[in-house]
Amino acid sequence: MKFWSQYFIPTLKESPADAEIPSHKLLIRAGLVRKLGGGLYTYLPLGLRVMQKLTQICREEIERGGGIELQMPHLHPAENWQQGPRWAAIREVMFRVDGAGDGKRGPREPEYVLGPTHEEVITPLVRAEITSYRDLPKNLFQITTKFRNEIRPRFGLMRAREFVMMDAYSFDANDEAAIKSYHAMKTAYENFFRRVGAHAIAVEADTGVMGGSYSHEFMIPAEIGDNDILYNEESGYAANREKATSALVPAGLADAAPAGALEEFATPGIVTIAALAAPPYSAPADKQFKTLVYVGDGKPFLVVLRGCDELEEAKLGALGFSVFRPATPEEIEPVMGAKPGSLGTVKGTIKNPDALAGIFADHAIRLVGNGTTGANKDGFHLRHVNVSRDLTVTRFGDFRRVQPGEPDPTSGQPLKLRRGIEVGHIFKLGTKYSDKYGAVYTDDQKQNHPVVMGCYGIGISRTMQAIIEQGHDADGVVWPWASAPFHVLICVLDPQLPEAMDLARQLGAAAEKAGADVLIDDRAERPGVKFKDADLIGIPLRLTIGGKGLKEGIIELKWRTQKEVAKISLADAAARVTAEVQAAQAKA
């Protein structure tokens, strides 16, 4: 057991000015962390205890799912990353250092990076050490500090430059075995979040720069979340905003028949969807075609949506470009023949179609039977535009942002929307990295095959803050039992009384024997200060011992989640505390 007077718990009455969300405020006020600089935090003793508990529970569940722990360097030779598939996409968010350490790279000095993740390290390691199908499967993991050069770190540990993460990597002989590994890790994640008391939802997710065939994010619902979740409770469908689909466009929908001859009309000064929808033109947004120009791997391409829809940019990753971005006005006009606001993809109107890498249209434009689009002439549009008759489309796909209320793709029921904090992500990578690094194995017929990979990450430090964001009230943190820095707080109101301190030690020993971590508040402070601090740091079970209670033959017992205070006789106190702790341990 620990004694508050001898420990280090610097609580604060006021929130720091730069803390914007409840969990960030409480991290500071409850004495869990202190800020060193933008996105950099020191874990104080209470915060470190939480991190150690989360880490141990994570380790147990990943090992139960087949993981084997190792430890890789934080500092990586940049050439490892340059050989891989995502250097161009990720290099700007990496901290880079030179071999001399003085900012002046000599011709023979290698450049290093601080690792935001370790695919580029683990894959060459496996290439060198695993050569036979007899060595597979393997799942290797670590729990360590990661680095990301966030341009705008915010929200405390939610978006930090330095953070603690569990990252695991599975290696299998074939796709079937890789799927088995993937689901074993998904189960391990579910068990981890359940044990630590975080209500996380597994949602379908975009693979992003990681690549791979599919992935799931684990999201903790919270209003300040960094992503939207589209879901339906009845069907169980859940996906993040970047991956979500709907049944808005029925499967096999045929394009509407032409409703009139194509007609060009003047629209001087009209360069927005809203302006074209207003009188005198009165072209509804859902009857307009929106043409967006992007540049992928150095070559322009077009994306066509309904005027009422928003592009979900992450979905463009399905087009296969390693890097893509919106085109600038200066890049658009030489290709299209017009400035933004008058663009379209009607056949024969694009000035330089051969310059394009493709024209990609969202499926929902098939709902437009008689639409309006730009004529690729400044100040002119075209009406009576029909998809199959008039538009040039290389390929249809899902590129729009799904909205709440649209039909769930599995049940047809309306989708709902809520915010969520991403605390974990799992990917089925396939052979993207093993192909690049030559990580192959030999089968029983002496044939070589690339290993099939999966990768898995849990943000340990993020999870700590997400638990606070999910579990707090006006008075402070409300810790789940398994994640709490201490399970039992014994408030001694009169620590100068030997009999009060003796009882605190006895009850603390009983609680420890039952499996609890105990903190005794033996400070010479007023009861009000002790109770406020107790609620602020959020220890699940509080016992109060005071001189008045001792005279009456009682102590007080209160759970942080309840308002009621139970009065327990001294004769029953140790047994009651033991029973309460055992019950809490069993539930956790």
Report pLDDT digits (tens) over 424-449.
999 999 999 999 999 999 999 999 99
Which pLDDT does position 211 carry in this prediction?
Answer: 47
Percent of residues, the chain, with pLDDT higher than 70: 96
Distance from CA of residue 476 to its chain's centroid? 25
359-362 vs 395-397, strand pairing mode: parallel
- pLDDT at site 209: 46
Tell me, what's the pLDDT at 299? 96
Yes or no: say if 399 and 303 are a contact pair by the CB < 8 Å rule: yes
Nearest to 273, CA basis, from 336, 332, 343: 343
Residue 101 confidence (pLDDT): 53
Give the pLDDT confidence score for residue 100 in this predicted structure.
56
Closest Cα partner for 40 from 170, 190, 163?
A: 163
Query: Which residues of the chain fall below pLDDT 50?
Result: 108-109, 209-211
Distance separating alpha carbons of residues 162 and 318, to the nearest angstrom = 30
| pLDDT score, position 55 | 98
Backbone angles phi, psi at 332, to 5 degrees: -75, -50
Q: What is the pLDDT of residue 204?
A: 87
Order of strands across the sheet that contains 554-559: 2-3, 518-521, 488-492, 541-545, 554-559, 566-569
pLDDT at 396: 95
- Decide if 373 contacts 385 (C-beta within 8 A): yes
Three-class SS of 29-79: HCCCEEEEECCEEEECHHHHHHHHHHHHHHHHHHHHCCCEECCCCCEEEHH
* Structural domains of the chain, with CATH: 22-246+417-468 (3.30.930.10), 263-397 (3.90.960.10), 486-587 (3.40.50.800)
Give the Cβ contact number of residue 71 at 10 Å: 8
Q: Single out the residue of 148, 119, 91, 85 nearest to residue 321, CA to CA.
A: 85
Query: Cα separations (Å) of 325 from 253, 301, 489?
Result: 31, 10, 54
